[in-house]
Amino acid sequence: MKNLAKYRACLLGGAIGDAMGYPLEFMDSTEIFDYFEKRGTIEYVLKNV
């Protein structure tokens, strides 16, 4: 049973990471710095598509 919890946590972590990184997924570094200025990403954003 211990391994099942680890697998579940791994899948959940991957899903959360994908969801949080979605707004930047197809941006290159130039677009990211243009959008967020010189600081880069420092907070979460909601991007409507």
Q: For residue 32, with 0-12 CB atoms within 10 Å meaning exposed, 13-18 middle and 19 or more buried, which class applies?
A: middle
Reported as a pLDDT band with limits 50, 70 and 90, residue 7 is very high
Q: Which of 47, 39, 2 is nearest to 21 (CA)?
A: 47
In a domain, 44, yes or no: no
pLDDT for position 2: 78
In a domain, 45, yes or no: no
- Domain region containing 30: 2-39
Say if residues 24 and 34 touch (Cβ distance below 8 Å). no
In a domain, 6, yes or no: yes
pLDDT for position 26: 87
pLDDT for position 21: 80
Condensed to tens digits (0 to 9), the pLDDT of residues 8-46 reads 999 999 998 888 787 788 888 888 888 777 776 667 766
Residue 45 has a CB neighbour count (10 Å cut-off) of 11
